[in-house]
Chain A
């Protein structure tokens, strides 16, 4: 169709492959970034930019996404993963030359959790003691005479199974494993001792909400009477600068995955002086101060963000590229067109449209690999007929996920809830396989018998199709998926579910308000590399968009997180996952693949499960012999990069 004989347009790769003249990388990030403030945005497009501009305690490994030392050289985790101590390097610098120390981290964490900032990522930090209370504007309850605060455990029904971080430090016991090369500070600060006490009771800061809560619990109300309410302050958060280069974080529960979480952008440093001086205009190119391998050169919104190498960066010697040009674009075909003509060198994940796969996948610059993300259908379990688990299971049995994976070509069928093959050593449970017979049987048991017609098709006249719909946000791939699912249910159950698409924001609102009856298309990608980031969707009722909340499941998750042995923890998590899947509040569909392209002369970028790249290791290879003739393996031994 579009064949040509120019040597720069060889058929091995998709389109023109000529390295840029200058030592720069041109990368499409996705939607226009909301802000250059790393605490604000939740999206992946922004995450990649933040990784270039800002550094944190740890950084993502380019192949495994495990936490690698960044501004923290070493760290220790206490015996039950409820407290961490980080030893910072001494040569960290801001882009303006100022030194970086532990106080910068304290400031950053406190700011990220402040109410005024209204960061949408704040919830990631809720594992830190008093973080949620501070972010929600809650208050402690203090007895004015004794000065003592009321404790949460006195008013809850749960077993007191407190993590080590909340227990007073018994003299002589080692809180941390003794293998650490650097010892944890012997002199204990008052703050640390304060952290090692049981959680305080918190109540809503808003008076009306508080009174509502008190009125519900007579014991609470009487205990609170006559006491004063002390607002939770930023200083109460469990983050401490023990000295200028030591940072200690106290958690409310054991969280073995927490170190990996700290690579997230919300925990990356922002410069206190700049923020205090310029307020919410601090990210403007002539004000902004950063601490990552690159700094802002020019920013034309909707056009290009150009970042250049920062000579002040502590690891500037490793940084290979002179500049990165980030192009904010969200339309996949346009992105692919730019790539084909050679105007960009690499693109973000999920860019190759399904219809193009057959052509593009055969090219050597196609990046394949499993992603830490899943596609699934949420079910609103609060509305009939979906409140009957048999009906839900019937619809799950009626979908042939293998066929779906074949059609989509780049996904793997999913029967449980965590993405397949991502978490090493995790015994992922198996959900139900495709079984249309069983599906029809279950549906019949639930009161909606399925009859077979003379031409082999099925019908189910009793099923209330007017009460059930499938909603999705408007996009070609979602539409194709919806139509496919609809066809499956029609074919296997004889039920025609109506489809309804809506614009993204309306869709989110409808879903979170549980304003729909039936199914909703959904997807989830990992915030950090641990199964809990998926399973925690059902930890509280509001996040899942299904209305399913089971205290038993929550207890199972809590118990798993208390385990010190990672293997045992994984087992318990898998059991919880199986329990959740058996209750079928969702229909799992597939594990995504990363699905992007990069030119063969771009080296140091790997198709890892999160599509997050530590930019300092990326470079342009001008020697054709050394080009990546296929997708670089994630298992390749690290060579001269470290």
Chain B
């Protein structure tokens, strides 16, 4: 187990560095720069700006300086577009927002999905089963950028119950629509996963034994079936986090939330190199570490799995 963890950690570091290098290369190869305004700048001012940001040195020097700062000091530099704001501070500030929305969405998805999926499995082939699975399929098929605006249309622009966008602090009414929009897909996936897992488990011998022993259905389900049936859900957490991230980007855009995803899109559009690299590196590290955590957790849950 320890060897496994160490191996994974050792792979993580060069991976991140490669990701950073590739991202940096992509940004540099693109045309355009970040300081252009509507009026063409007199040459002297443009020169001032280039000197100020060190853009006049040869590319390998710039690359070297950047990598040294990142590796040596964990310093991703200052945003090019936003004066005086360090990349680290931007990430630090926007992360809680993305995390709040993402985690709430996942928790909601778990609660609703597991419940719906379990019931569907227990009442297999019933109306409930068919309808909830159809609904789940709908959840997977309706894109979040369609669902979100429709929710906004109904609950905000027509009924005036909820704000249509923006972040209102935590907790606030502003969270409701983004969380539901983001959770929809995962609710669906988790319901299906739970149902599949539960069905498999419910057919197995040890459940038959439990029933034969005379345990109540609730006990059978909650104490025995659920543990095994939820395995697929647990193992889905890894990729789910990745998808949650990309889903968050769109949701943050729709609802104008100042989260990591929105900053990332802005940075891409602005060619804000340090910010792009910082966010990409941060996301990569998070994903890799979370995947590791999930794998390790899986080992604890399923005794058959050995590292």
Residues of A at under 8 Å CB distance from B? 2, 4, 6, 9, 16, 32, 34-35, 37, 40, 42-43, 115-120, 122-123, 135-137, 280-281, 283-284, 300-303, 327, 329, 331, 334, 337-338, 340-343, 503-506, 508-509, 511-512, 523-524, 540, 542-543, 545
Residue of B whose beta carbon sits closest to that of A35 = B83
Distance between A78 CB and nearest chain B CB, rounded to angstroms: 27
The reply to whether A302 and B269 form a contact with Cβ atoms under 8 Å apart is no
Question: Known: A118-B49, A303-B258, A503-B269. Contact between A509 and B32, CB under 8 A?
Answer: yes
The reply to whether B83 and A342 form a contact with Cβ atoms under 8 Å apart is no
How far is B270's CA from A43's CA once the two chains are assembled, in angstroms? 15
The reply to whether A509 and B31 form a contact with Cβ atoms under 8 Å apart is yes
Which of B39-47, B115-123, B204-212 lines the interface with chain A? B39-47
Residue B224 interfacial (CB < 8 Å) = no
The reply to whether B165 and A338 form a contact with Cβ atoms under 8 Å apart is yes
Q: How many residues of B contact A (CB 8 A)?
A: 45
Enumerate chain A residues within 8 angstroms of B42, measured Cβ to Cβ: 123, 136, 540, 542
How far is B150's CA from A241's CA once the two chains are assembled, in angstroms? 61
How far is B156's CA from A303's CA once the two chains are assembled, in angstroms? 20
Question: Known: A34-B81, A122-B45, A303-B258. Contact between A337 and B160, CB under 8 A?
Answer: no
How far is B263's CA from A213's CA once the two chains are assembled, in angstroms? 45
Residue B251 interfacial (CB < 8 Å) = no
Quick one: which of A16, A32, A119 contacts B160, CB cutoff 8 A?
A: A16
Residue B170 interfacial (CB < 8 Å) = no
Residue of A whose beta carbon sits closest to that of B159 = A4
15 contacts between A and B (CB under 8 A): A115-B48, A120-B37, A120-B41, A135-B44, A280-B83, A301-B85, A302-B262, A331-B256, A337-B157, A338-B164, A343-B166, A506-B32, A512-B40, A524-B38, A540-B42
The reply to whether B262 and A503 form a contact with Cβ atoms under 8 Å apart is no
Residue B58 interfacial (CB < 8 Å) = no
The reply to whether B32 and A35 form a contact with Cβ atoms under 8 Å apart is no
Other than A508-B32, A509-B33, give 12 A-B pairs with Cβ distance below 8 A: A6-B160, A34-B82, A34-B83, A35-B82, A115-B48, A136-B44, A280-B83, A280-B84, A301-B82, A337-B157, A504-B36, A543-B40
The reply to whether B84 and A281 form a contact with Cβ atoms under 8 Å apart is yes
Enumerate chain B residues within 8 angstroms of A122, measured Cβ to Cβ: 45
The reply to whether B45 and A118 form a contact with Cβ atoms under 8 Å apart is yes
How far is B160's CA from A16's CA once the two chains are assembled, in angstroms? 8
Question: Known: A37-B83, A331-B256, A505-B32. Contact between A341 and B157, CB under 8 A?
Answer: yes
Distance between B271 CB and nearest chain A CB, rounded to angstroms: 6
The 9 closest A-B pairs by CB, nearest first: A136-B44, A302-B258, A505-B32, A508-B36, A35-B83, A118-B48, A512-B40, A506-B32, A337-B164
Residue of A whose beta carbon sits closest to that of B152 = A337
How far is B169's CA from A303's CA once the two chains are assembled, in angstroms? 10
The reply to whether A329 and B256 form a contact with Cβ atoms under 8 Å apart is yes
How far is B263's CA from A122's CA once the two chains are assembled, in angstroms? 29
How far is B82's CA from A283's CA once the two chains are assembled, in angstroms? 12
The reply to whether A116 and B52 form a contact with Cβ atoms under 8 Å apart is yes
How far is B85's CA from A284's CA once the two chains are assembled, in angstroms? 9
Distance between A94 CB and nearest chain B CB, rounded to angstroms: 20
For chain B, residues 4 to 56, give those with C-beta under 8 angstroms from any C-beta of chain A: 31-45, 48-49, 51-52
How far is B46's CA from A136's CA once the two chains are assembled, in angstroms? 10
Residue B141 interfacial (CB < 8 Å) = no
How far is B3's CA from A493's CA once the two chains are assembled, in angstroms? 75
